[in-house]
């Protein structure tokens, strides 16, 4: 551990409301590593729901608020690949021809998804966590394809004591969430998760782990409805296990 | 396919049916998994597949961004060697042009090799109505034609059918022997079609590429049916969209392996033929006439879109369908379009109207598997997002959605209101308990198949406050 | 609609420049890339640099051709001399019981088949397609063999027209080792050189016997074209 860093948290709106424990786990891990964590209290949402529905001007208004809130942050940690992608990849598109373009792209360079922050920015692959059992990892599409996050979570999980990692065939297939897609086309969305369940079940894993709370909402919601014994966990929760 | 005229509700209904058919879905999935394994192995042989994608993509960019110049060159060169070029603005013009040629030759029967563009202009319907015998010679196309169905996938037209179903079909329609051996079934089709090639007056083909520099069309195939179609009948008609152009002959040396790798996982398909004109003076066989029918059919509308003209670079390899979770779970017919899958969802709203086809842009989780796989790096899933943007911008999302988004913006810009809403949400959750899981539950669409956690007793915000 | 009208529409559509962001995407990659030369030469070069490497020497090329041929189920036979090619053809004749053989006026083909005790159909003068269809085999020359793809490159000049190499159930190509080149781009260069500005109306890369996998992805050879492809290469 070299220098302690000041890390600002962005806790996406639905994590704040539905699964705060994911945020809390992230705080615990970062603090355990000796960093100073702060939480800009004016924060709300990155604007992705509007953006993905095609309401770009509306999304930009929410993005404006995000920019104000995090203008002074050195380093921002986000427990979601999807929200990180929104900020790093899609904000620049929203602000393409605006005077804030530069500010936006600079901020994008300081915002990191939790596992890439740990591995690529902080150089940590072993956080000293322990969890017994077998796990399989689900790559959230935004983290994987917009940000190229693939190795970081696996490195971290390989170093969790007692945990063995088994890849499933469909690790990189979409879970079926996709925001409003899950509501507008529930039959397709659910069929996709059904495929995920089949693939995860084949690995005989105890846990399905992911870096994206929205995927977990979808996967967890379906798995529990199907009475699957697989427990769905966010990677921050796993890394927080002592 | 349902007969409903509204494309959106047809899509929903068919999607309901196919997603419920677990057996067919797993059949599709395992077939596409086979494709993926072969393709990965072929891709791994490349010294640098990523760079090859960029180079292939560049060739198509160059063609599309200078389409006027290259199209003119293409036509001039072809005409110089005795081919006739027809310029058609829409389906109707193209159908008329083709029908005229056929009538001029007093033809009876027409043999076709695979060409999605003829599906786009509904050529078979017209020709059959006019009393011509039209035979599809590609095996997959032949099968779906016998079933009176549209192709399921624009590269694998009959991929949805099991061999037993093809056996039944052949017995019924061709009075063939009872066999579900793919080899024997293929031979049945071979025998039937052999005679058709020899007797057909007209051969109709598509084109995978049009080489501007030399005035040639390039056709990619495995079966040899396109070669026979363009060798034996005395007239050859090729129908191609104006976007199929590539600048130089040598570009094919890259495009053809890319098309094969992405399309079927082969390092090269069996026959890649370049045809530039009818039989020349010093040649011994081949058609005496060659007609190239160039089709716009709203492609220029797509070209006028500075973002989405990108999609005109498509080489129709079908790779984006093969990796698409939507395609895998709803199948090809559900789309109700000539071009299925991600590329179809991107271009159909431009070719046939955003209002009726915007649902294709929404029926995607935007997972990006398509863009990741596209051999010419078309920004497919982001184009779906751009279609959504354009639909919303035109107010096509409806008032309710617009209001919802307005509300969303108002709340998310005001932390105090956000906090209040969170608290009200919790209250709402308690108050609406009696209707949870019923049809009037606002989360009905979600909860029908998925559980949903109750809002946490303490939000993260409250946790942070309490910690201080 | 006229040519001018459609070209006019194309020009009008192109009067707006491509969105910079979209144009950029095609260049970007999550992988690290070597810098790519732009322009036509850059792309021809690309074929060499990015596609599978098949060595430099003739031996390397033959070896690569062989590996892919096996995979494709192409019968690739390397023989030392024309005499041995003759012998190979006679063995094939006996094995497959050829009676009628399609050929054309091609020096190498002619010298390989001159002693074959069969009935010939020569496609270099007026021929009947029905009769060609009844032939047991078509024997043709080619313009090049492509090591990288195990293809025989033909035109209607080198292959006796468009039909000889596709209508009979078996296609035999005879070639000389000097015809082996590395890439498809090299193949095009040969045709360019040979035919200058009078291109043949038909060029084809033949890569294995005709095939289909349209029924349940099961590979079947001889969908419409030849069920067998034999390439005989004379090495001396
Ligand atoms: S969009 Fe790309 S992947 Fe899809 S068919 Fe076209 S070229 Fe292939």
State the Cα–Cα distance between residues A47 and A66, nearest whole angstrom: 9
Please determine, looking at this structure, whether the domain spanning B46-297 carries the CATH number 3.20.20.150: no
Q: Express as a percent the part of chain B with pLDDT over 70.
A: 96
* Band of residue A2 on the pLDDT scale cut at 50, 70, 90: low
Q: Is C230 helix (H, G, I), strand (E, B) or coil?
A: strand
For chain B, give every residue range classified as CATH 3.40.50.10420. Answer: 46-297
Given a contact cutoff of 8 angstroms between Cβ atoms, the answer to whether B36 and B322 are in contact is yes
Chains that touch C (3 or more CB pairs under 8 A): A, B
State the Cα–Cα distance between residues C121 and C102, nearest whole angstrom: 5
What phi, psi does B358 have (nearest 5°)? Answer: -65, -25
Residues C116 and C100 in one domain: yes
Question: Cα of B354 to ligand 1 centre, how many Å?
Answer: 20
Mean pLDDT of B343-369: 95
Given a contact cutoff of 8 angstroms between Cβ atoms, the answer to whether A176 and A191 are in contact is yes
Angle between helices B22-45 and A186-202 (to 10 degrees): 70
Question: Cα of B422 to ligand 1 centre, how many Å?
Answer: 43
Minimum-distance CB partner of A54 among B328, B330, B392: B392
What residues form DSSP beta bridges with C102? C121, C138
CATH of the domain at C106: 3.40.50.10420
* Band of residue A135 on the pLDDT scale cut at 50, 70, 90: very high
- pLDDT attached to residue B415: 87
Averaged pLDDT of chain B: 93
Residues C58 and C41 in one domain: no
State the Cα–Cα distance between residues A56 and A80, nearest whole angstrom: 21
- pLDDT attached to residue C37: 38
Q: Which domains are assigned to chain A?
A: 6-120 (3.40.50), 125-239 (3.40.50)
pTM given for the model: 0.94
Question: Cα of B380 to ligand 1 centre, how many Å?
Answer: 8
* Band of residue C32 on the pLDDT scale cut at 50, 70, 90: very low
Which chain C residues are within 8 Å of B233, Cβ to Cβ? none
Test C51 with B52 for CB contact under 8 angstroms. Answer: yes
Residues C40 and C68 in one domain: no
Which residues 29-68 of C have a C-beta within 8 angstroms of A? 30
pLDDT tens sequence across B362-419: 999 999 999 999 999 999 999 999 999 999 998 888 888 888 888 888 888 888 888 8
Domain that holds residue C180: 54-234
- pLDDT attached to residue C1: 67
Which chain A residues are within 8 Å of C21, Cβ to Cβ? 93, 96
Asked whether the predicted pLDDT for residue A133 surpasses 50, the reply is yes
State the Cα–Cα distance between residues A7 and A76, nearest whole angstrom: 6
Helix (H), strand (E) at residue B382: helix B380-393
pLDDT tens sequence across A166-219: 999 999 999 999 999 999 999 999 999 999 999 999 999 999 999 999 999 999
State the Cα–Cα distance between residues B385 and B390, nearest whole angstrom: 9
Asked whether the predicted pLDDT for residue B435 surpasses 80, the reply is no
Minimum-distance CB partner of C1 among B93, B162, B223: B93
Q: Which residues line ligand 1 (CB under 6 A)?
A: B 262, 314-320, 343, 373-376, 378, 380
Averaged pLDDT of chain C: 91
- pLDDT attached to residue B185: 96
Out of B59, B368, B378, B383, mutate this one to test ligand 1's pocket (max ligand atoms within 8 Å of CB): namely: B378
Given a contact cutoff of 8 angstroms between Cβ atoms, the answer to whether A172 and A190 are in contact is no
Residues C41 and C142 in one domain: no
**Sheet with strand A111-113: strands edge to edge:** A36-38, A6-9, A76-78, A111-113
Test C21 with A148 for CB contact under 8 angstroms. Answer: no
What residues form DSSP beta bridges with B257? none
- pLDDT attached to residue C31: 39
Test B222 with C68 for CB contact under 8 angstroms. Answer: no
Q: For ligand 1, what atom is nearest to the CA of residue B154?
A: 5
Residues C159 and C74 in one domain: yes
Residues C111 and C171 in one domain: yes
Residue C201, chain A, CB below 8 Å: the answer is: no
Q: Express as a percent the part of chain A with pLDDT over 70.
A: 99
Residue nearest to atom 2 of ligand 1 (CA): B374
pLDDT tens sequence across A82-113: 999 999 999 999 998 899 999 999 999 999 99
pLDDT tens sequence across C41-79: 555 666 777 888 898 899 999 999 999 999 999 999 999
CA-based nearest distance A92→chain C, Å? 10
Given a contact cutoff of 8 angstroms between Cβ atoms, the answer to whether B242 and B309 are in contact is no
Asked whether the predicted pLDDT for residue B74 surpasses 80, the reply is yes
Q: Are strands C151-155 and A36-38 parallel, antiparallel or unpaired?
A: unpaired
Asked whether the predicted pLDDT for residue B308 surpasses 50, the reply is yes
Out of B257, B312, B318, mutate this one to test ligand 1's pocket (max ligand atoms within 8 Å of CB): namely: B318
* Least reliable range by pLDDT among A76-80, B3-7, B221-225: B3-7
For B37, the closest chain A residue by CA position comes to A169
| CA triple C121-C164-B226, angle to 5 deg | 150
What phi, psi does C229 have (nearest 5°)? Answer: -130, 125
- pLDDT attached to residue C33: 37
Residues C90 and C70 in one domain: yes
pLDDT tens sequence across B161-205: 999 999 999 999 999 999 999 999 999 999 999 889 999 999 999
- pLDDT attached to residue B457: 87
- pLDDT attached to residue B399: 85
Test B75 with C19 for CB contact under 8 angstroms. Answer: no
Question: Cα of B318 to ligand 1 centre, how many Å?
Answer: 6
Which chain A residues are within 8 Å of B449, Cβ to Cβ? 186, 190, 222, 225
Q: For ligand 1, what atom is nearest to the CA of residue B380?
A: 1
- pLDDT attached to residue C48: 73
Asked whether the predicted pLDDT for residue B440 surpasses 80, the reply is no
Residue C21, chain A, CB below 8 Å: the answer is: yes
Question: Cα of B330 to ligand 1 centre, how many Å?
Answer: 19
- pLDDT attached to residue B1: 43
What's the full length of chain C, in residues? 236
Mean pLDDT of B18-30: 95
Asked whether the predicted pLDDT for residue C163 surpasses 90, the reply is yes
CA-based nearest distance A146→chain C, Å? 9
Question: Cα of B375 to ligand 1 centre, how many Å?
Answer: 7
CB atoms within 10 A of CB B428: 13
Residues C71 and C177 in one domain: yes
Asked whether the predicted pLDDT for residue B453 surpasses 90, the reply is no
Q: Express as a percent the part of chain C with pLDDT over 70.
A: 91
């Amino acid at each position: 551990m070299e220098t302690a860093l000041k890390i600002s948290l962005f806790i996406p709106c639905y994590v704040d409301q539905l699964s705060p424990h994911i945020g809390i786990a992230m705080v615990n891990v970062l603090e355990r590593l000796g960093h100073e964590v702060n939480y800009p209290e004016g924060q709300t949402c990155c604007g992705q729901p509007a953006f993905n529905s095609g309401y770009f001007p509306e999304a930009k208004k929410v993005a404006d608020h995000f920019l104000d809130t995090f203008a002074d942050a050195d380093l921002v940690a986000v427990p979601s690949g999807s929200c990180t992608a929104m900020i790093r990849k899609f904000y620049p598109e929203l602000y393409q021809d605006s005077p804030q373009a530069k500010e936006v792209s600079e901020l994008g360079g300081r915002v990191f998804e939790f596992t890439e922050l740990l591995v690529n920015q902080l150089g940590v692959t072993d956080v000293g966590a322990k969890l017994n059992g077998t796990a399989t990892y689900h790559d959230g599409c935004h983290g994987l394809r917009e940000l190229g996050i693939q190795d970081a979570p696996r490195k971290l999980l390989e170093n969790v004591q007692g945990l063995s990692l088994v890849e499933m065939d469909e690790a990189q297939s979409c879970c079926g969430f996709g925001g409003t897609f899950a509501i507008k086309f529930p039959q397709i969305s659910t069929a996709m998760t059904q495929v995920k369940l089949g693939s995860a079940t084949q690995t005989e894993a105890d846990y399905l782990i992911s870096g994206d709370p929205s995927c977990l909402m979808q996967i967890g919601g379906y798995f529990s409805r199907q009475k699957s014994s697989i427990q769905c966990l966010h990677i921050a929760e796993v890394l927080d296990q002592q | 396919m349902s007969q409903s005229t509204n494309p959106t509700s047809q899509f929903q209904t068919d999607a309901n049916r196919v997603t419920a058919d677990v057996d067919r879905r797993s059949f599709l999935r395992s077939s596409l998994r086979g494709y993926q394994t072969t393709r990965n192995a072929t891709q791994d042989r490349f010294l640098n597949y990523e760079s090859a994608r960029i180079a292939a993509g560049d060739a198509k960019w160059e063609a599309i961004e200078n389409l006027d110049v290259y199209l003119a060159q293409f036509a001039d060169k072809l005409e110089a060697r005795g081919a006739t070029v027809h310029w058609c603005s829409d389906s109707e013009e193209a159908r008329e042009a083709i029908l005229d040629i056929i009538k001029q030759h007093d033809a009876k029967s027409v043999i076709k090799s695979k060409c999605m563009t003829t599906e786009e202009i509904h050529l078979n319907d017209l020709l059959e109505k006019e009393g011509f015998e039209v035979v599809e010679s590609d095996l997959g196309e032949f099968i779906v034609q016998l079933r009176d169905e549209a192709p399921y996938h624009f590269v694998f037209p009959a991929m949805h059918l099991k061999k037993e179903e093809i056996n039944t079909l052949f017995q019924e329609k061709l009075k063939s022997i009872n066999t579900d051996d793919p080899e024997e079934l293929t031979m049945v089709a071979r025998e039937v079609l052999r005679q058709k090639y020899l007797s057909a007056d007209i051969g109709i083909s598509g084109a995978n590429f049009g080489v501007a520099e030399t005035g040639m069309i390039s056709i990619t195939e495995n079966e040899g049916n396109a070669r026979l179609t363009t060798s034996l009948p005395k007239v050859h008609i090729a129908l191609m969209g104006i976007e199929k152009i590539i600048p130089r002959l040598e570009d094919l040396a890259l495009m053809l392996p890319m098309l094969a790798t992405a399309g079927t996982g082969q390092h090269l398909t069996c026959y890649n033929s370049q045809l530039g004109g009818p039989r020349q003076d010093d040649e011994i066989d081949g058609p005496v006439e060659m007609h190239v029918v160039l089709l716009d059919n709203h492609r220029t509308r797509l070209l006028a879109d500075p973002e989405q003209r990108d999609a005109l670079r498509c080489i129709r390899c079908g790779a984006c369908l093969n990796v698409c979770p939507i395609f895998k779970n709803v199948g090809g017919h559900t789309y109700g379009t000539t071009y299925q899958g991600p590329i179809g969802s991107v271009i159909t709203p431009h070719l046939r109207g955003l209002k009726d086809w915007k649902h294709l842009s929404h029926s995607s989780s935007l997972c990006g598997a398509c863009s990741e796989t596209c051999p010419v790096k078309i920004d497919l899933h982001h184009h779906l997002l751009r279609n959504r943007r354009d639909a919303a911008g035109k107010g096509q999302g409806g008032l309710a959605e617009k209001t919802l988004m307005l509300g969303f913006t108002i709340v998310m810009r005001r932390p105090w209101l956000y906090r209040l809403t969170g608290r009200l949400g919790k209250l709402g959750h308690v108050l609406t308990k009696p209707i949870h899981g019923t049809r009037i539950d606002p989360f009905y669409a979600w909860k029908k198949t998925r559980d949903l956690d109750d809002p946490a007793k303490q939000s993260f915000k409250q946790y942070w406050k309490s910690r201080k | 609609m006229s040519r001018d009208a459609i070209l006019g529409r194309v020009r009008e559509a192109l009067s707006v420049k491509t969105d910079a962001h979209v144009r950029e995407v095609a260049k970007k990659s999550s992988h690290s890339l070597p810098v790519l030369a732009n322009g036509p030469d850059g792309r021809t070069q690309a074929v060499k640099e990015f596609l599978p490497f098949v060595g430099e020497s003739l031996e390397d090329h033959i070896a690569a051709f062989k590996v892919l041929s096996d995979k494709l189920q192409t019968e690739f036979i390397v023989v030392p001399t024309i005499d041995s090619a003759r012998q190979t053809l006679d063995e094939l004749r006996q094995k497959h019981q050829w009676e009628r053989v399609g050929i054309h006026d091609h020096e190498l083909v002619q010298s390989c088949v001159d002693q074959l005790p069969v009935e010939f159909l020569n496609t270099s003068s007026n021929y009947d397609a029905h009769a060609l269809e009844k032939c047991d085999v078509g024997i043709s020359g080619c313009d090049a063999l492509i090591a990288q793809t195990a293809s025989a490159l033909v035109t209607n000049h080198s292959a006796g027209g468009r039909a000889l190499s596709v209508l009979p159930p078996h296609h035999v190509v005879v070639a000389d080792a000097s015809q082996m080149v590395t890439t498809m781009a090299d193949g095009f260069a040969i045709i360019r050189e040979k035919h200058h500005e009078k291109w043949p109306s038909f060029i084809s890369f033949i890569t294995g016997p005709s095939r289909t996998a349209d029924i349940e992805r099961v590979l079947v050879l001889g969908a419409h074209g030849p069920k067998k492809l034999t390439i005989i290469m004379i090495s001396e």
